[in-house]
Amino acid sequence: MISRELSDRRGAKPPGPDGDHESALAEAVVKMSWKKLGIGLLAVIAVVVIVLAFRAWNVGSPPTPPEAVDTGAAVDIDDALGRLAAAIRLPTISPVESDADVTPFLQTHELLEEFFPRVHEIAERRLVSDLTLHFTIPGSDADAPHVVFLAHMDVVPVEEGTEDDWSHPPFGGAVADGFLWGRGTMDNKHNMMGIMEAAEAWFAQGGRPEHTLHFVFGHDEEIGGLQGARRVAQTMMEDEVDVVAVYDEGLLITDGILPGVDDPVALVGITERGYLTVEIRAHAEGGHSSMPPQELAITRLATALQRLDADPMPAAIDGPTALMFEKIAAEMDFGHRLIFRNLWLFEPLVISQMTASAGTNAAVRTTAAPTILRAGDRENVLPRQAVATVNFRIHPRESIDEVLEYLDETVATEHISVEPVGEMQAEPSPLARLEGPGYEALERAFFTVYPDIALAPNMLTALSDSRHFTDLTSDVYRFHPITVTERDLERIHGVDERIAVDDFENLIQYYGALLRQW
């Protein structure tokens, strides 16, 4: 026992100054290590802050606007407004039923012929499906590629019960308070009339195009354009027409809509989302409602729809949306520029904000919207199946096959089947070029009329007739330069649709400048 204690004492550190010194040294080393770590972390944070600030600051100078081009002689805006008002008074509601009254469309044809005689004299006019108008204006150079201008004369109906909510009758064509009011003033008779006004004025001056031009005014765009624009595009494909650019309705000049941007910014749709509708069908045993089994067709369908909602297709900031943020960074305040110029760090935060809003969620992911539900027809009978119609709008990073694969992984089971339905199916459109002649002509026309407004590419989240023409060229530009606020977006297909008188005058000048470049 004594021997063990002696042994332990021999191995122990001696008390006194040497032992205290070693302990203090170890403590100092630990403190120094933590200090170095803290300094290192501060250095890393400082570098990150410097990088963030530099990227936010270093956006470069705004690009120099291209040289202005000729817009042609000024059109008498009062006369032009009167012609647009006359078109608005014709209720050209999309002919959903085969026996729909198409008299307003035929009256529109007559109205155009009366108002724009020179266009009708120079152009070859074809009727497609008896209602869509296709004007071909021959160019002086037979070898030059063709250019297509699209618009549509059909409009959506006024929702029943909202007629009295309008400030002016929806088909009255009233001019008041600096606006022309009525269904079609924003979607899309203003484009049709603007193109014709500009062309008529040009031809009256003796002008003629070098490139062959096509004006296509559809009668069924609001229901897919399958009998109108699609048939025109198919014919042009069969005729092997060489097309260099297509211009259609789409995005607009936004005012107070983009985050961190006080000034108006014009957005050009260089692509649009795809379209797919599916039926999700749940199966179960039928029988009497007094003896329901544990799993019913309706509850199985509800579970499947919940899965879609809980596990949507992924969101990301890429493609045209990323390109837009890059282009408008110089227009943002510093705080927003700090975020959007550093998406490598802040993208999760931005996506969480964008996916919380219906409008911006559509810009970052493929969306799914259940629109129709069908099940039993008797209150005391268990249906053997329940069906949901779900509409998908497909982001350009994905395809119809990828959506179907997602559905197979997310909702399809032994008792749940998924099947595409309907004739309207479309892959997302290819991205139009920003360095091609089509975009360059659009830029010159736009900056001639709007020299102080920034222009940036983006994606059209809805559908347009232009998707039928992407096999002719990928350079399809979806844009009409009228200014809209957040409130104005509600007017499209809604109550109090209207166009500012100044916007319509500028629209005619824009098309004048665009036409003359071809």
Give the active site residues.
154, 221
Beta strands in 57-161 (DSSP E): 124-128, 132-137, 146-152
DSSP string, 175-193: EETTEEESTTTTTTHHHHH
396 burial level (CB within 10 Å; 0-12, 13-18, 19+) = buried
Instruction: Choose among 254, 325, 264: nearest CA to 453.
Output: 264
For 175-178, the CB contacts below 8 A with 24+ separation are 175/81, 175/85, 175/501, 178/500, 178/501, 178/502
Tokens standing for residue 512: 């004048």
Alpha carbon distances (Å) from 80 to 38, 176, 220, 443, 488:
71, 15, 25, 25, 22
Q: Is 343 left (phi over 0), alpha (psi -120 to 50) or beta?
A: alpha
CB 421 within 8 A of CB 279: yes
Instruction: Choose among 159, 157, 179: nearest CA to 168.
Output: 179
Close Cβ partners of 194 (under 8 Å, ≥ 6 residues apart): 480, 504, 507, 508, 510, 511
| Count of positions (residues) in the chain | 518
- Measured between its terminal Cα atoms, the distance across the chain in Å is 110
* Residue 389: Cβ within 10 Å count: 16
Q: Is 151 left (phi over 0), alpha (psi -120 to 50) or beta?
A: beta
What one-character DSSP code corresponds to residue 258?
S
Taking each continuous run of H as one helix and of E as one strand, the counts in the chain are 16, 17
Tokens standing for residue 454: 């920034």
Close Cβ partners of 276 (under 8 Å, ≥ 6 residues apart): 391, 392, 394, 400, 403, 420, 425, 426
Q: Which residues pair with 484 in a beta bridge?
A: 254
Phi first, then psi: give them for residue 498, nearest 5 degrees: -160, 160
Q: Is 248 left (phi over 0), alpha (psi -120 to 50) or beta?
A: beta
- If you compute the radius of gyration of the chain from its CA atoms, what whole number of angstroms results? 31
